Structure 1
Amino acid sequence: MTATSPAVAVITGGASGLGKAIALQLAEQSMQLVIADINAEIGRETQAELEQLGATVAFVEADVSQAEQVKHYVDVALERFGRIDYFVNNAGISGPGTPFADNSVEQIDAVLDTNLRGALYGLKFVLDAMLKQGSGSIVNMSSSAGLVGIEGVGVYSATKHGLTGITKTLAVEYAARGIRINAVAPGATETPMVAAYREMHPDIVARNEAAIPQQRFGTPGEVAKTVCFLLLGSVPHINGVTLPIDGGYTAQ
C-alpha cells in the first residue's frame, strides 16, 4: 500500500447482518472491499449497495467450510488489489439451538466446519499474505457464548471459545511481525440470524434478553463500530483481546 492507495479489507459473511454492517462502516473509510459470502444473490445486492456509496468492491461467492474456496477469496483479493490490510473473520452459523445431546452428528459437523474450520482456514491464508507484506490487522468474530456458557448453543459455544483462544495465541505469535489480532464477543444482536433463532426458540431468546443488564439486544451498528475501532488500530497497543459487546451480560 502506497501513501495514496486505499487500504484493502476482506470481510467474510459480508453480505448481511454484522458483516454487512461492518462493510458499510469500512466503506466510509474509502477502503477497497472484498466481500465473501455463501449467498450469491444477497452478496451481489450488497456489492451494488456499497458501490452506490462510492466503494470499490469485489464479491466472491464462498463456502468458508471449504479450504479451497477460502483460498480463492484470498487469491481474488490479492489479484484484484495486491494486498490485504484488514481481515474481518465473521462468517458463521448458529446451529439447531437444542441441548447438546439432541444434536445430530451432521449438525455438529456443520457448525464446526463453518464457524471454526472456516475461520481457521481464513486466518491461515490471510496470514500468509500479511506475513509477506509485513503488516495487517485481524478481528475475529467470537461471541458472548465464547466467554460464558449459554443454553442451547453448545457446539456454537465451542467454536466461539475456540476463536477466543486462537486470537490470544496468534497475537502472541505475530505481534513482532507487524500483525495485530483481536476479537469481539457480541451478545444477542438484532441480526437476521438472531431473528431466525427467535422464531424457532422464542422462550430462550426472551430469557436471554431479560438477563442483559441493559435490557435490550445490541445493534449491528454497535458491533460494526467496535470492530472498526479494533481493526483500524486507533490504539495500536491493543492486541490479543476479546472485547464483549453485550450490554453487561458477561460482566455478571
Structure 2
Amino acid sequence: MVGMMGGGVVMKGGGGQKTVLITGVSRGLGKALALELAKRGHFVIGCSRSQDKLKSLQTQLSSDDDKHLFFNLDVCSNSSVQDLARLVMEKKGVPDIIVNNAGTINKNNRLWEVPEEEFNAVIDTNLKGIANMLRHFIPLMIEKKQGIIVNMSSGWGRSAAAQVAPYCASKWAVEGLTKSVAKELPSGMAAVALNPGVINTDMLASCFGSSSSLYQAPDAWAPKAADMILNLTMADNGSSLSV
C-alpha cells in the first residue's frame, strides 16, 4: 500500500539537477541527505513508514513541494515497492540516483537472546528491502541506460561487534549483494555500498547510549555524503566506499 504526498508537477532535471530517490527519508541520515540535496536544487523522492515524520519533512520543503514527492510505504513489502516504481515513473520518470537508506537495528543482545521477530525485522528491512528496490528499479534504469545505486552499508558490514549480530549480518549481506549486482549491471550504471561512518542517529543511540552524542550529527554529515553521492560514476561500480 502506497500513500503519496507532495505536489504532482513533473519537473525534468536539467544540467546538474538530479532526481534522487531516498528510502527511510523521514529521519536520521535519510532526512539530512534529503534536506541537503533539496537545498542544492536537486529533486528528492522519498519514502518512509512514518506518515507523521514524512509530513514534517514535507513542511520543511514546503516552498519546493512541486518538485519533491514523498510516499508512505514499507520497503519490506514487495508489492508496495512495485507500486512505488510505477508511481515514480508516472510522476518523475527514472531516478538518476537511488539511495537505499532504510534500516533498522536490533536491541543490544546476544544472538541467542534476540527474539525471532526482531531478527526477521532487521533482515527484512536492511536486506530484503534493498532487494525489493533493486528488483523494481534496476529494469527501469537499464532501459534508460544509466543510473547510480547506493546501498547504505556500515562499518559493521566490514567488521563485527558483540550484541548486534543481526545488524552485522544484514550489512555484510548488503556488501555482498552490492558486489554481485554490480557484476550484473550494464555499462552506464553503477552500484556501490556506502559506509556512512559513525553518526549520532537514533540507531547509534540504541547501541552506544548517551555516548552517541560524541559523534557528528546527521546535518554535519550530509554535505560530505551529498558531494560523494552526486559525483559517483560508472567507474565506481562494485566499490565499497566510506564517507
TM-score by length of 1: 0.83
CA drift of 1:54 comes to 7.0
Partner in structure 1 of residue 194 of structure 2 = 184
Q: What secondary structure is seen at the aligned counterpart in 2 of 1:96?
A: coil
| Aligned CA-pair RMSD | 2.4
CA drift of 1:6 comes to 4.3
Give the counterpart letter for 1:46 in structure 2: L
TM-score by length of 2: 0.86
| Partner Cα separation in structure 2 for residue 17 and residue 104 of structure 1 | 25
| The one of 90, 106, 119 aligned to 2:130 | 119
| Partner Cα separation in structure 1 for residue 15 and residue 235 of structure 2 | 25
Deviations for 1:194-232, whole angstroms, at most 9, x for unmatched residues?
Answer: 23x05xx63xx75xx7xxxxx942332454334323432
Give the counterpart letter for 1:242 in structure 2: S
Go from structure 1 to structure 2 and tell me whether the alpha carbon gap of 1:46 and 1:2 turns closer, same or farther (over 3 Å shift): closer
CA drift of 1:16 comes to 0.9
Give the counterpart letter for 2:239 in structure 1: V
Q: What secondary structure is seen at the aligned counterpart in 2 of 1:41?
A: helix
The 5 A counterparts of 1:140-219 are 140-174=151-185, 176-195=186-205, 197=206, 202=209, 206=211, 216-219=214-217
Go from structure 1 to structure 2 and tell me whether the alpha carbon gap of 1:5 and 1:233 turns closer, same or farther (over 3 Å shift): closer
The 5 A counterparts of 1:45-194 are 45-52=56-63, 56-174=67-185, 176-194=186-204
| Partner Cα separation in structure 1 for residue 15 and residue 157 of structure 2 | 39
Deviations for 1:154-196, whole angstroms, at most 9, x for unmatched residues?
Answer: 011111011111221222221x43111112113431113323x
Go from structure 1 to structure 2 and tell me whether the alpha carbon gap of 1:226 and 1:121 turns closer, same or farther (over 3 Å shift): farther
Q: What secondary structure is seen at the aligned counterpart in 1 of 2:159?
A: coil
Partner in structure 2 of residue 232 of structure 1 = 230
Deviations for 1:27-75, whole angstroms, at most 9, x for unmatched residues?
Answer: 1332221110000110111022123367711110011111111122222
Could you tell me which runs of 5 or more consecutive residues in structure 1 were left unpaired when the two chains were aligned. Answer: 210-214, 246-252
CA contact (8 A) 1:145 1:160 kept: yes
Partner in structure 2 of residue 43 of structure 1 = 54
| Partner Cα separation in structure 2 for residue 51 and residue 66 of structure 1 | 28
